[in-house]
Chains A and B, each alone.
Chain A
Amino acid sequence: MKRTTIDLWVGIFVAMGIAALFFLAVQVGNLRGTEIVEPYELQARFDNIGGLKPRAPVRSAGVVIGRVHHIDYDSERFQAVVVMNIDHRYTFPKDTFATINTSGLLGEQYIGMEPGGDEALLQPGDTMMKTQSAVVLEKLISQFMFSKAAEGTAPK
């Protein structure tokens, strides 16, 4: 069996196909992404998570430091339990605030961590006590309407 020109062309073809797949994986997809190295788990309870989804980023000061692993519902407290994977390089004080924010006006939702001043640190598996739910636009509007209405009826 000897090598032929066809082998060369097929080789080029297969190499191009694999290169295209590699391009899709690395440049288009998030296979490279922000690596979360040796993550540890933290939990947080929210009254309302809005549109938060698994794999949503967890940010502190705008830097991605972890990702949402999964979201459960606690039927005793009627709250959402969000389990996050946090990069092991980052630790946070016990009184860290977890808030659900939206990037941009219509962007994806993420968890923002605002560190407090406690000396004790959150240990893997801990539950964050201080949380703030997602802002629900309808509630915001209705609050605004009610406050406007109250202004209108207030005695002058």
Chain B
Amino acid sequence: MPEILLRPFVRLGHSVVSAIWRLGFASRFLAAIVLMSGTTFRRPYLLMREIYFSGVLSLIIILVSGLFVGMVLALHGYDTLSRYGSEEWLGVLVALSLTRELGPVLAGLLFASRAGSAITAEIGLMKATEQLSAMDMMAVNPVARVVAPRFWGGVISMPLLAAMFSAMGVLGGYLVGVVQIGVDPGSFWSQMQSQVDFERDVLGGVVKSVVFGIAVALIAVFEGYDSDATAEGVSRATTRTVVTSALVILGLDFVLTAFMF
């Protein structure tokens, strides 16, 4: 009888311990990647290939989403701002929301689901088909050859994608606000330029996107490397990458925002 009562606690304790275990392994994994990234930078072709797969192939989704997010922001913003007769602040609203928050966060979420999941699936499948062990047998270090290039590819792509997202969003806001609704273009841009600070807002957004890039890339390669070597294990690892990345991005965003602003 007491065993049935104890079971939930045992399960809770087990999941807490294994979560902490995985956190520690992930930290050690990050240190190992950084230490073994020499190969990545000595053989830029490996890095190019990963930037191509995680960055270039994410371009369309990032650009299109950025454009639409900016357009929606402009529609909503105009609706509210016009009540106070301050339509010329539309540019400020769109630019600040995008550079500070939406650019890095949404680009990070899209990046995690578009590129992070692919990285996890690829590494997980390599593990399941014992390609990683085969490399190990041939004295090729799989962390240096497979994991590190994918990690750095993600870290480099992410800030560039976030910047493109914000820029496209501002253009989308311009299209809807100025071209369609008819806000004065001069005040749209000049108010934006006087209110958006380069260091605080634009560079702050870049810092955020670099941090998100590190987080998403680490989660993606770690989940792939740590996955169970079965079809089911790979599928679970892929799902976990997207879910964990989303939670970590939103949590980190709060912490970074509290620090910066």
Contact = CB atoms under 8 A, between A and B. Distances in A.
Contacts of A6: 48-49, 52
Interface stretch (A12-20, A42-50, A117-125, A136-144): A12-20
A24 B163 contact: yes
Contact of A24 (B45, B49, B99): B99
Given A13-B56, A17-B160, A20-B163, A27 B189 contact: yes
Nearest to B95: A28
Q: Which range contains the number of B residues in contact with the other chain?
A: 20 to 34
A31 B198 CA distance: 6
Interface residues of A, number: 29
Interface stretch (B19-27, B135-143, B164-172, B219-227): B164-172
Contacts of A13: 51-52, 55-56, 59, 157, 160
A146 interface: no
Nearest to A34: B194
A24 B193 contact: no
A139 to B, nearest CB: 24
A10 B86 contact: no
Contacts, number: 89
Q: Is the interface of B mostly helix, strand, loop or mixed?
A: helix
B30 to A, nearest CB: 24
B40 to A, nearest CB: 14
Contacts of B197: 29-30, 55
B202 interface: yes
B201 A10 contact: no
A94 to B, nearest CB: 30
Interface in B157-198: 157, 159-161, 163-164, 166-168, 170, 189, 192-194, 196-198
A7 B197 CA distance: 34
A30 B198 contact: yes
Interface of B: 45, 48-49, 51-52, 55-56, 59, 84, 86, 95, 99, 157, 159-161, 163-164, 166-168, 170, 189, 192-194, 196-198, 201-202, 205-206
14 contacts: A4-B45, A4-B48, A9-B52, A9-B56, A13-B52, A13-B56, A17-B161, A19-B167, A20-B168, A21-B202, A23-B170, A25-B198, A28-B170, A29-B197
Interface of A: 1, 4, 6-7, 9-10, 12-14, 16-21, 23-25, 27-33, 55, 57, 104, 106
Given A24-B163, A28-B167, A31-B198, 8 more contacts: A4-B48, A12-B56, A16-B160, A17-B159, A24-B166, A24-B205, A28-B166, A29-B198
